[in-house]
Amino acid sequence: MTRFNYQRMIHDALRRVVHDALRETADHGLEGDHHFYIMLHSTHPGVEISPALRSRFPETITIILENQFWDLEVDDEGFSVTLNFDRVPEQLRVPFAAIETFTDPSANFGLRFEPVEATASPKSETPESDAETNPALQTATFPTHSSGDEESSKAAESGRPSGEVVQIDEFRRK
């Protein structure tokens, strides 16, 4: 058994990126074209949403932080924000562990996470790489937005996504 849980370390480091982006936004607002799409598991422990929202979004909900959001507060465990849903302000409390995807289309940047419970499951007796047992480590980032440059235009015409997908397996020793 290894002393270091590298899988957990990578997972925590990537969630820290989300924390830092939201903290910067809470402190200074969004600059330029930056905006965030955040998909979260509405049933995850610690997610606080109104009963009306929970009935509309029983499993997942995607929120957008762009032009109209208020009271964004970030701490080490998660964030809270007020958003309008059908012109009704709703306050949400979201633990970072509840986030499934975080994207900033203006930067062509995104992260995809597996549920925290999935990373804590016991390993089988057959040795496997961390990437085989945790899909979140196979693809840490994914393309989210075409920037309008020549490469993105070619990608759109060919039907393939633009941007670079980073495969963690590329960096593993064989």
- Domain residue extents for the chain: 6-169
- What pLDDT is recorded for position 5? 87
The answer on pLDDT for 161 being more than 70 is no
6-169: CATH architecture: Roll (2.30)
The answer on pLDDT for 167 being more than 70 is no
Instruction: Convert the pLDDT of each residue in 121-135 to its tens digit.
Output: 333 333 343 444 444
Instruction: Convert the pLDDT of each residue in 63-100 to its tens digit.
Output: 999 989 999 999 999 999 999 998 999 999 999 999 99
In the sheet with 36-41, reading across from the earlier edge strand, the strands are 60-65, 36-41, 99-104, 109-112
